[in-house]
Amino acid sequence: MIRILIADPDPATRKALSLLLRRKLGVNGIVKVGDVESLIRTLADSPPDLLLLDWQLYGSPAPETCRLLQKAYPRLKIVLLSVNASDEAAAREAGADFIYKGAPPEELIATLTRLLRKNSIVTQTLRN
């Protein structure tokens, strides 16, 4: 089973992303957190296959957080989410994929499908 962690301070965004992932990708292993402390606890308990990390998650700058997480969890795929499209270059420099929150849902699904297909535990849902 694919496990995705959504780390975003906005409960409505977490819920919307979770519903989209369930409906479009058939992913049921979704955990949602709203702050850096919960993110760290969740990663320590059971690292996911993919992390959707909001640029504005309280507590630490996103690129720095991304770099630290990649050192601690080298297999973790990270997608930085931002309302500012110009954050893409900094996300890429930090080693993360990037999704602009204003992009259509299809773009998010296409990016996540590509990333999850690289993962060896891809479900049949994603292969179709």
20-54 tens-digit pLDDT: 999 998 888 999 999 989 999 999 998 999 999 99
- Give the pLDDT score at 41: 94
Helix (H, G, I), strand (E, B) or coil at 60: coil
pLDDT surpasses 90 at 11 = yes
Note the pLDDT tens digit of each residue in 72-127. Answer: 999 899 999 999 999 999 999 999 999 999 999 998 899 888 887 875 444 444 44
- Give the pLDDT score at 119: 59
Residues 3-117, CATH architecture: 3-Layer(aba) Sandwich (3.40)
**Residues 6+ away with beta carbon under 8 Å from 103:** none
